[in-house]
């Protein structure tokens, strides 16, 4: 990487890397790591903490979820204990979350990336031309820029919302003590995870959604998860149109249909995220964008400036499950002009609740709209040996297949759903059918057997066809 003084501008040092990344969240860091490994010189520009909202929001939520799961297990262990299980220690919980996130933050630290060979600029970056970005006291000139600036929480337009203090999934873990009662507005994964986590910490929780929980995710499986939230003590309200919000002392009141709907000591807003594009000077860079984010093709290049790539929430704000390492690999292939087609259908969103919810591919409604006749196959964990042994039988596996048996989508609600979804990601990416999945040997007494059972049920149903029945009858007689 060359550094020189730019003619006519004695205040800025010029850097000319092979690649410049704007944003130090999960995707930006993954791109920088991969590019350096390939021998690229890399400049990374990040004005805030390294790690982005993955460290400020997603990681702490998952730690909270892990604690909540342990608390749930402690409750299930009570019948086998002589003494009652103690109450959660909120201070210990918050301390553990902060300590765990701090340990994860070391992997995203500036020092680590500089040791890898990345030049890190701790400042805001702004395009001043198609191949120029200014940041701090530097002018970065490069043929290739990657925008990975992430997203910020959306704040809805509700009368009175500006009159009360509110939290978001990015700020809730700045609390130093447990809320007396938490009112959550939203229906996304963060809202669900936080509702259950705080409820299991003995905090009163109201979860108010304008639509149904988890939006477009499989309604059949989401309904079961909603029931689990209610069993945890969460006051779940769906399909609510909030009229106004009013302060009450240091707390908040929510009104709908002319009446008081809920009140609490704290308000948390989790209604989704929007791309973080403010201050980037995208017009000067010739970058095409709109309210939904940076526009990119299947090669992750921007159509307005082919030297600009975009990845992560700033390009896919509704794809919360976009895997950073996968996207970074696709982007670097595109940089090297050996692109591989981006297929967002293979992104597998996971809700880290208890039980977990994961899905991939087409849901039932989308599959019917696209393919007409489909097969919907299910297998409950209540009929799975491992689930019964562990006394964790909530949920089931649901598989969507075409008329001929090609796998179109899968949804899993249950213990370890995030791990169990991987074979179905592979099946959809390779165009496999149910017969192929059913032919795989599955280890005994595992949860993965539930997916195998769902696939095998398709072949069993086919065996009831008259013509196949006659063939089987001949095989039994003469085979």
> Does residue 177 lie in a domain region?
yes
Q: 257 and 233: one domain?
A: yes
> Does residue 402 lie in a domain region?
yes
pLDDT at 63 over 90: yes
Q: 121 and 167: one domain?
A: no
Domain boundary among 271, 294, 315: 271
pLDDT at res. 3: 47
Q: Comparing 187 with 81, which gets the higher pLDDT?
A: 187
Q: 364 and 233: one domain?
A: no
> Does residue 100 lie in a domain region?
no
Q: Sorting pLDDT into bands at 50, 70 and 90, what band is 383?
A: very high
Q: 18 and 45: one domain?
A: yes
**371: which 2 tokens?**
């393919």
Backbone angles phi, psi at 31, to 5 degrees: -65, -45
pLDDT at res. 88: 84
The pTM (predicted TM-score) of the whole model is: 0.91
pLDDT at res. 346: 85
Q: 40 and 119: one domain?
A: yes
Q: 265 and 293: one domain?
A: no
Q: Sorting pLDDT into bands at 50, 70 and 90, what band is 73?
A: confident
Q: Average of pLDDT values for 204-215?
A: 95
Q: 333 and 360: one domain?
A: no
Using one digit for the tens of pLDDT, what is the confidence trace for 430-472?
A: 999 999 999 999 998 999 999 999 999 887 665 445 655 565 4
> Does residue 76 lie in a domain region?
no
Q: 131 and 252: one domain?
A: no
pLDDT at 429 over 90: yes
Domain boundary among 291, 313, 344: 344
> Does residue 468 lie in a domain region?
no
pLDDT at 246 over 80: yes
pLDDT at 476 over 60: no
Q: Sorting pLDDT into bands at 50, 70 and 90, what band is 8?
A: very low
pLDDT at res. 459: 73
CATH no. for residue 234?
3.50.50.60
Buried b (16+ CB within 10 A) or exposed e, 309-333: bbbbbbbbbbebbbebeebbebbbe
> Does residue 396 lie in a domain region?
yes
Would you mind telling me the total number of residues written for the chain in this entry?
479
pLDDT at 83 over 80: no
Question: Smallest Cα–Cα separation from 272: which of 190, 149, 166?
Answer: 190
**Cα 17 from Cα 436, distance rounded (Å):** 48
pLDDT at 6 over 70: no
pLDDT at res. 81: 73
Q: Lowest-confidence range among 7-21, 38-52, 157-171, 197-211?
A: 7-21
CATH no. for residue 365?
3.30.390.30
Number of separate domains in the chain: 3
pLDDT at res. 321: 59
> Does residue 58 lie in a domain region?
no
Q: Average of pLDDT values for 344-350?
A: 87
Q: 173 and 321: one domain?
A: no
Q: Sorting pLDDT into bands at 50, 70 and 90, what band is 7?
A: very low
> Does residue 292 lie in a domain region?
yes
Q: 132 and 228: one domain?
A: no
Q: 363 and 325: one domain?
A: no
- Expressed as residue numbers, the domain containing 317 is 2-50+109-153+274-344
DSSP, res 82: S
pLDDT at 4 over 60: no
For the chain, what is the mean pLDDT? 91
Q: Lowest-confidence range among 59-63, 317-321, 461-465?
A: 461-465
Q: SS3 of 232, please?
A: coil
Percent of the chain with pLDDT over 90: 80
Query: Helix, strand, coil: what percent of the chain each, to 5?
Result: 35, 25, 35
Could you give the dihedral angle defined by the CA atoms of residues 435, 437, 442 and 448, in that order, rounded to the nearest 10 degrees?
Answer: -130
Question: Smallest Cα–Cα separation from 346: which of 455, 427, 436, 406?
Answer: 427
Q: 39 and 129: one domain?
A: yes
DSSP, res 211: S
pLDDT at res. 84: 67
pLDDT at res. 371: 95
pLDDT at res. 465: 55
Q: Sorting pLDDT into bands at 50, 70 and 90, what band is 341?
A: confident
Domain boundary among 344, 376, 402: 344
Q: Lowest-confidence range among 87-101, 135-149, 230-244, 268-282?
A: 87-101
The strands making up 204-208's β-sheet, listed across from edge to edge, are: 235-237, 204-208, 181-185, 266-269
């Amino acid at each position: 990487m060359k550094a020189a003084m730019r003619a006519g501008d004695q205040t800025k040092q010029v850097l000319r890397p092979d690649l410049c990344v704007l944003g130090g969240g999960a995707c930006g860091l993954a791109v920088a790591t991969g590019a350096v490994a390939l021998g690229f010189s890399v400049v990374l520009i990040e004005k805030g903490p390294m790690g982005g909202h993955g460290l400020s929001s997603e990681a702490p939520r998952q730690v909270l979820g892990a604690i909540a799961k342990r608390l749930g297990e402690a409750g299930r262990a009570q019948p086998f204990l002589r003494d009652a299980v103690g109450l959660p220690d909120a201070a210990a919980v918050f301390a553990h979350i902060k300590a765990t996130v701090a340990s994860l933050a070391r992997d995203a630290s500036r020092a680590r990336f500089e040791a890898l060979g990345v030049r890190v600029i701790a400042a805001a970056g702004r395009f001043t031309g198609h191949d120029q970005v200014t940041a701090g006291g530097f002018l970065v000139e490069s043929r290739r820029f990657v925008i990975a600036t992430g997203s910020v929480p959306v704040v809805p337009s509700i009368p009175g919302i500006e009159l009360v203090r509110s939290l978001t999934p990015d700020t809730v873990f700045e609390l130093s003590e447990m809320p007396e009662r938490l009112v959550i507005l939203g229906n996304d994964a963060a809202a669900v995870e936080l509702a259950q986590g705080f409820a299991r910490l003995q905090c009163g929780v109201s979860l108010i959604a304008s639509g149904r929980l988890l939006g477009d995710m499989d309604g059949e499986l989401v309904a079961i998860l909603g029931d689990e939230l209610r069993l945890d003590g969460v006051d779940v309200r769906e399909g609510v149109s909030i009229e106004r919000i009013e302060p009450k002392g240091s707390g908040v009141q929510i009104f709908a249909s002319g009446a008081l709907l809920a009140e609490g000591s704290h308000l948390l807003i989790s209604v989704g995220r929007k791309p973080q594009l403010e201050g980037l000077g995208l017009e000067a860079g010739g970058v095409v964008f709109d309210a939904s984010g940076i526009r990119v093709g299947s090669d992750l290049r921007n159509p307005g400036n082919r030297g600009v790539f975009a990845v992560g929430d700033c390009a896919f704000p509704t794809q919360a499950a976009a895997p950073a390492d996968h996207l970074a690999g696709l982007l670097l292939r595109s940089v090297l002009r050996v692109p591989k087609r981006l297929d967002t259908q293979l992104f597998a969103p996971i809700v880290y609740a208890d039980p977990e919810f994961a899905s991939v591919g087409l849901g039932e409604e989308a599959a019917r709209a696209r393919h007409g006749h489909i097969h919907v196959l299910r297998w409950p964990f209540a009929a799975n040996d491992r689930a019964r042994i562990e006394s964790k039988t909530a949920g089931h596996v649901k598989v969507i297949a075409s008329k001929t048996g090609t796998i179109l989508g899968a949804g899993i609600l249950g213990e370890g759903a995030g791990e169990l979804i991987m074979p179905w990601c592979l099946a959809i990416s390779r165009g496999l059918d149910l017969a192929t999945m059913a032919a795989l040997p599955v280890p005994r007494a595992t949860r993965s057997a539930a997916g195998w059972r769902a696939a095998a049920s398709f072949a069993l149903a086919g065996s009831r066809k008259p013509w196949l029945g006659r063939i089987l009858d001949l095989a039994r007689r003469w085979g």
